[in-house]
Amino acid sequence: MIQTIRGFRDILPEEAPLWQRIETIAADIFRNFGFQEIRIPIMEKTELFARSIGEATDIVEKEMYTFPDRKGDKLTLRPEATASIVRSYIQHKMYAADPVRKFYTVGPMFRRERPQKGRYRQFYQIDAEVFGIASPYIDAQLIQILNELFQRLGLSGLKAHINSLGCPECRPNFQKALLDFLSARKEALCDNCIRRMEKNPLRTLDCKVPTCRQALEGAPTTLDHLCPDCSTHFDTVQSTLKAQNVDFIVDNTLVRGLDYYSRTAFEILTTALGAQSAVAGGGRYDALVQELGGPQIPAIGFAIGFDRLVHIVEQLDQQKGNEGPDLFLLALGDKAMENCHIWSSQLNLSGFRTEMDYSGKSLKSLMKRAGKRNARNVLIVGDAEMEANALVLRNMEARTQTTISLDDPVGEIKKLISNI
């Protein structure tokens, strides 16, 4: 039997509705804030990610699915979406008429990480990018969008962690201070950090090795070296988040794992399932468009870990109890089956969730199945009920019954179950 590749998985029919629900809510919010959907290829030239993400990152060095095609060109399955969206923005000269554009995309990304629970080699992201706006207000707005999305999905304990990584004017001073600090502790650092010291000292702050974490305690922070413009920018982000009632903390240890970030960086964490868990992250990358061959245009964006978000929402749904159909139709007999099927379809088209059992089992068996499906209401339709022109609608939660005539059963059912 041929099975899926390790680290890849199927999203089964019973799982898909939750994914669709999250996508729908996200799309509604994006639309309200002026975003348009963009769909990008899953494969790009390797150079795109090497130049944008950074040669010294773990993603480029260890995790990308890279291979030569038949002509020897190096291609890579996209490990993230930002670089591809920037490439599309430049390639199609979307900045020509108006540099301000807002995009979102949903789809799979690929990284050859060690597969473990909740982490896959083909994983999914919801990604949003804004081009052409340098204002700190848009930084705060993106964090607000994330906060709103997660609230609508029922997540609690939301907190934004924010930091400023500076700009080309002030970052050199910080990097010098950091390099001096690291040099004095070089013997305690791992091989990766020692290599990163030469290429990008900032990347050492993202190391997860315990000995490195300990050695980096007391390291210089970017906030201590911000230029006046970056400092003002970051202050405005904070004051705007307060005005928007977004809960946040300034986390001077926060360093996004990609080289292209500048100024505002952020992550959104939740305690919805108890332990603190990051569900989204992003930041500003004002130089990336120019670095990839476009004009000097500021930009900012974020990515949501879709797989992790699905897991959290799924657990929350289970805690609330599995939501069953609005109505379960119990058909006892051929004529009842025919009528129930038609009524069920009419109710579906009117926006109600209904289910039927076509097996022709007994009333006792069908009631048991309706209970297992957590049906809110049950309609009992048999020969006796149809002859008496008195169908029985049972509210499973209130344990009450209502009699419905055959004159307009669908209309009566709509009124009754809409008021429950």
Convert the pLDDT of each residue in 316-375 to its tens digit: 887 765 568 899 999 888 888 998 999 999 999 988 999 988 888 888 888 888 888 888
Question: Nearest Cα to 334, choosing from 387, 382, 389?
Answer: 382
Instruction: Give the pLDDT band of residue 250 (cuts 50, 70, 90).
Output: very high
Instruction: Give the pLDDT band of residue 178 (cuts 50, 70, 90).
Output: confident
Assigned domain for 221 exists: no
Instruction: Give the pLDDT band of residue 419 (cuts 50, 70, 90).
Output: low
Assigned domain for 36 exists: yes
What's residue 153's pLDDT?
A: 92
pLDDT higher at 197 or 296? 296
Quick one: angle between helices 136-152 and 16-32, nearest 10? 150
Assigned domain for 357 exists: yes
pLDDT averaged over the chain? 88
pLDDT higher at 25 or 207? 25
Instruction: Give the pLDDT band of residue 258 (cuts 50, 70, 90).
Output: low
| Digit-coded pLDDT (tens) for 21-70 | 999 999 999 999 999 999 999 999 999 988 877 665 666 767 888 999 99
Q: Is the pLDDT of residue 202 over 60?
A: yes
Strands 36-37 and 65-68, bridge-based pairing: unpaired
What's residue 112's pLDDT?
A: 87
Assigned domain for 209 exists: no
CATH of the domain at 399: 3.40.50.800
Asked if residue 349 and residue 378 are part of one domain, the reply reads yes
| Digit-coded pLDDT (tens) for 148-175 | 999 999 898 899 999 999 998 988 888 8
| Digit-coded pLDDT (tens) for 73-96 | 999 999 999 999 999 999 999 999
Asked if residue 402 and residue 278 are part of one domain, the reply reads no
Instruction: Give the pLDDT band of residue 298 (cuts 50, 70, 90).
Output: very high
Asked if residue 247 and residue 339 are part of one domain, the reply reads no
CATH of the domain at 56: 3.30.930.10
Asked if residue 406 and residue 282 are part of one domain, the reply reads no
The answer to whether the pTM exceeds 0.85 is no
Asked if residue 112 and residue 36 are part of one domain, the reply reads yes
Name every residue whose Cβ is closer than 8 Å to that of residue 395 and which is 6 or more positions away in sequence.
376, 377, 401, 402, 420
Domain that holds residue 376: 327-418
Assigned domain for 262 exists: yes
The domain total for the chain is 2
